[in-house]
Amino acid sequence: MHLTGKHINYYHICHRKLWLFHNGISFQHTHENVADGSLLHQTAYPQRAARYREVQLDGIKIDFYDPQDRVIHEIKRSDKLEHASIAQLQYYLYVLERHGVREPTGLLEYPKLRQTQTVVLTDADRQAIPDWEASIEQLVNRPECPPVINKLLCKQCSYYEFCYVAE
Ligand code: SF4
Protein backbone atom coordinates (compact mmCIF):
# COMPACT_ATOMS: atom_id res chain seq x y z
CA MET A 1 0.00 0.00 0.00
CA HIS A 2 1.38 3.42 -0.93
CA LEU A 3 0.89 6.05 1.75
CA THR A 4 0.23 9.71 1.08
CA GLY A 5 1.55 12.66 3.07
CA LYS A 6 -1.89 12.98 4.68
CA HIS A 7 -1.72 9.43 6.02
CA ILE A 8 1.50 10.30 7.83
CA ASN A 9 0.19 13.66 9.01
CA TYR A 10 -3.10 12.31 10.36
CA TYR A 11 -1.37 9.31 11.96
CA HIS A 12 0.46 11.82 14.15
CA ILE A 13 -2.71 13.79 14.96
CA CYS A 14 -5.56 11.31 15.43
CA HIS A 15 -5.98 7.68 14.43
CA ARG A 16 -9.71 8.18 13.96
CA LYS A 17 -9.06 10.98 11.49
CA LEU A 18 -6.59 8.74 9.67
CA TRP A 19 -9.14 5.94 9.47
CA LEU A 20 -11.95 8.23 8.25
CA PHE A 21 -9.72 9.83 5.64
CA HIS A 22 -8.43 6.51 4.34
CA ASN A 23 -11.92 5.08 4.13
CA GLY A 24 -13.16 7.96 2.00
CA ILE A 25 -15.25 9.80 4.57
CA SER A 26 -14.60 13.51 4.26
CA PHE A 27 -16.18 16.74 5.42
CA GLN A 28 -14.06 19.48 3.99
CA HIS A 29 -14.68 23.19 4.40
CA THR A 30 -16.61 22.93 7.63
CA HIS A 31 -14.09 23.79 10.34
CA GLU A 32 -10.73 23.03 8.91
CA ASN A 33 -8.66 25.68 7.25
CA VAL A 34 -7.87 23.68 4.14
CA ALA A 35 -4.50 25.21 3.43
CA ASP A 36 -3.83 25.62 -0.24
CA GLY A 37 -0.06 25.36 -0.14
CA SER A 38 0.35 26.21 -3.81
CA LEU A 39 -1.70 29.37 -3.57
CA LEU A 40 0.03 30.42 -0.39
CA HIS A 41 3.36 29.74 -2.02
CA GLN A 42 2.58 31.78 -5.11
CA THR A 43 1.43 34.67 -2.99
CA ALA A 44 4.34 34.58 -0.57
CA TYR A 45 7.13 33.69 -3.00
CA PRO A 46 6.09 34.55 -6.58
CA GLN A 47 9.72 34.77 -7.75
CA ARG A 48 10.61 31.21 -6.81
CA ALA A 49 8.42 29.25 -9.21
CA ALA A 50 11.11 28.47 -11.79
CA ARG A 51 13.43 26.89 -9.26
CA TYR A 52 11.10 24.15 -8.06
CA ARG A 53 9.83 20.89 -9.44
CA GLU A 54 6.74 18.93 -8.54
CA VAL A 55 7.68 15.38 -7.61
CA GLN A 56 5.36 12.38 -7.47
CA LEU A 57 6.87 9.20 -6.06
CA ASP A 58 5.09 6.14 -4.76
CA GLY A 59 2.03 7.67 -3.06
CA ILE A 60 3.46 11.06 -2.23
CA LYS A 61 3.31 14.36 -4.06
CA ILE A 62 5.87 17.04 -3.26
CA ASP A 63 4.80 20.42 -4.62
CA PHE A 64 8.06 22.33 -4.23
CA TYR A 65 11.30 20.41 -4.57
CA ASP A 66 14.55 22.15 -5.34
CA PRO A 67 16.59 19.45 -7.13
CA GLN A 68 19.76 21.53 -7.14
CA ASP A 69 20.00 21.82 -3.36
CA ARG A 70 17.91 18.70 -2.66
CA VAL A 71 15.53 20.68 -0.46
CA ILE A 72 11.79 20.15 -0.08
CA HIS A 73 9.93 23.36 0.75
CA GLU A 74 6.64 23.01 2.56
CA ILE A 75 4.65 26.18 3.09
CA LYS A 76 2.24 26.42 6.03
CA ARG A 77 -0.14 29.06 7.27
CA SER A 78 0.53 28.37 10.94
CA ASP A 79 2.72 26.24 13.17
CA LYS A 80 -0.25 24.50 14.78
CA LEU A 81 0.25 20.73 14.89
CA GLU A 82 3.82 21.25 13.79
CA HIS A 83 4.89 17.79 14.95
CA ALA A 84 2.60 16.27 12.30
CA SER A 85 3.97 18.59 9.58
CA ILE A 86 7.50 17.60 10.57
CA ALA A 87 6.63 13.89 10.42
CA GLN A 88 5.04 14.36 6.98
CA LEU A 89 8.13 16.14 5.70
CA GLN A 90 10.40 13.48 7.19
CA TYR A 91 8.39 10.88 5.31
CA TYR A 92 8.94 12.77 2.06
CA LEU A 93 12.68 12.81 2.80
CA TYR A 94 12.55 9.10 3.51
CA VAL A 95 10.83 8.34 0.19
CA LEU A 96 13.33 10.52 -1.70
CA GLU A 97 16.19 8.63 -0.06
CA ARG A 98 14.52 5.35 -0.94
CA HIS A 99 14.70 6.49 -4.54
CA GLY A 100 18.40 7.31 -4.33
CA VAL A 101 18.43 11.01 -3.44
CA ARG A 102 21.38 11.57 -1.10
CA GLU A 103 20.62 13.34 2.18
CA PRO A 104 17.78 15.60 1.16
CA THR A 105 16.55 18.16 3.69
CA GLY A 106 13.25 19.86 4.31
CA LEU A 107 12.27 23.39 5.13
CA LEU A 108 8.97 24.19 6.78
CA GLU A 109 8.14 27.78 6.01
CA TYR A 110 5.62 30.01 7.73
CA PRO A 111 5.55 33.19 5.66
CA LYS A 112 2.90 34.80 7.85
CA LEU A 113 4.98 34.20 10.98
CA ARG A 114 8.26 34.97 9.18
CA GLN A 115 9.68 31.73 10.52
CA THR A 116 11.31 28.65 9.05
CA GLN A 117 12.17 25.27 10.50
CA THR A 118 14.73 22.91 9.03
CA VAL A 119 13.75 19.24 8.97
CA VAL A 120 16.26 16.41 8.60
CA LEU A 121 16.13 12.64 8.73
CA THR A 122 18.15 10.99 11.51
CA ASP A 123 19.05 7.32 11.75
CA ALA A 124 16.42 7.00 14.48
CA ASP A 125 13.81 8.40 12.04
CA ARG A 126 14.93 5.97 9.34
CA GLN A 127 14.34 3.15 11.78
CA ALA A 128 10.99 4.50 13.02
CA ILE A 129 9.35 5.20 9.68
CA PRO A 130 8.84 1.55 8.62
CA ASP A 131 7.01 1.14 11.95
CA TRP A 132 4.75 4.11 11.09
CA GLU A 133 4.00 2.48 7.73
CA ALA A 134 3.14 -0.87 9.29
CA SER A 135 1.05 0.72 12.01
CA ILE A 136 -0.89 2.90 9.54
CA GLU A 137 -1.60 -0.07 7.31
CA GLN A 138 -2.90 -2.03 10.25
CA LEU A 139 -5.01 0.89 11.55
CA VAL A 140 -6.74 1.79 8.31
CA ASN A 141 -7.67 -1.81 7.60
CA ARG A 142 -9.48 -2.27 10.89
CA PRO A 143 -13.20 -2.78 10.39
CA GLU A 144 -14.05 -0.41 13.25
CA CYS A 145 -13.42 3.32 13.27
CA PRO A 146 -11.11 4.23 16.21
CA PRO A 147 -12.70 6.19 19.11
CA VAL A 148 -12.75 9.98 19.43
CA ILE A 149 -9.76 11.51 21.22
CA ASN A 150 -11.50 14.40 23.06
CA LYS A 151 -8.71 16.91 22.57
CA LEU A 152 -8.74 20.64 22.07
CA LEU A 153 -7.59 20.21 18.49
CA CYS A 154 -10.88 18.47 17.66
CA LYS A 155 -12.60 21.88 17.48
CA GLN A 156 -10.46 22.75 14.46
CA CYS A 157 -10.96 19.40 12.75
CA SER A 158 -13.16 18.93 9.70
CA TYR A 159 -14.66 15.84 11.35
CA TYR A 160 -15.72 17.68 14.50
CA GLU A 161 -19.45 17.56 13.85
CA PHE A 162 -19.28 14.00 12.63
CA CYS A 163 -17.43 12.98 15.80
CA TYR A 164 -19.24 14.98 18.47
CA VAL A 165 -22.55 16.37 17.35
CA ALA A 166 -25.32 13.88 17.87
CA GLU A 167 -27.94 13.65 15.17
S1 SF4 B 1 -12.73 15.62 15.62
FE2 SF4 B 1 -11.11 14.84 17.00
S3 SF4 B 1 -11.61 12.67 17.26
FE4 SF4 B 1 -12.71 13.38 15.46
S5 SF4 B 1 -11.36 12.91 13.75
FE6 SF4 B 1 -10.99 15.03 14.32
S7 SF4 B 1 -9.27 14.94 15.73
FE8 SF4 B 1 -10.10 12.86 15.59
Residue scoring higher pLDDT (18 or 43)? 18
Least Cα distance to 119 among 155, 161, 91, 152 occurs for 91
User: Is pLDDT above 50 for 31?
Assistant: no
160 close to ligand 1 (CB < 6 Angstrom): yes
Domains parsed from the chain with CATH numbers: 5-164 (3.90.320)
In this prediction, residue 51 carries a pLDDT of 85
pLDDT tens, 78-118?
A: 888 999 999 999 999 999 999 999 999 999 999 999 999 99
In this prediction, residue 28 carries a pLDDT of 63
Other beta carbons within 10 angstroms of residue 132's beta carbon come to: 19
Angle between helices 15-22 and 123-140 (to 10 degrees): 60
Determine if residue 100 is left, alpha or beta; phi over 0 gives left, psi from -120 to 50 gives alpha, anything else beta. Answer: left
Q: Which residues are within 8 A (CB) of 81 and not within 5 positions of it... i.e. 6 or more apart?
A: 13, 153
- The pick from 148, 150, 153 for probing ligand 1's pocket by mutation, whose C-beta has the most ligand atoms within 8 angstroms, reads 148
In this prediction, residue 30 carries a pLDDT of 46
Ligand 1 centre distance from Cα of residue 87 (Å) = 19
- Distance, in Å, from the CA atom of 127 to the CA atom of 145, rounded to the nearest integer, reads 28
Q: How confident is the model at residue 37 (pLDDT cuts 50, 70, 90)?
A: low
Average pLDDT over residues 39-64: 83
Q: Where are the alpha helices (DSSP H) in 23-166?
A: 37-44, 82-98, 123-140, 160-164
In this prediction, residue 48 carries a pLDDT of 72
- Name the residue type at position 71: V
163 close to ligand 1 (CB < 6 Angstrom): yes
Ligand 1 centre distance from Cα of residue 17 (Å) = 6
Q: How confident is the model at residue 164 (pLDDT cuts 50, 70, 90)?
A: very high
Residue scoring higher pLDDT (56 or 51)? 56
84 close to ligand 1 (CB < 6 Angstrom): no
Ligand 1 centre distance from Cα of residue 158 (Å) = 8
User: Is pLDDT above 70 for 29?
Assistant: no
Beta carbons of 96 and 57 less than 8 angstroms apart:
yes
User: Is pLDDT above 90 for 38?
Assistant: no
For a pLDDT cut of 70, what percent of the chain falls above it? 89
Residue scoring higher pLDDT (33 or 15)? 15
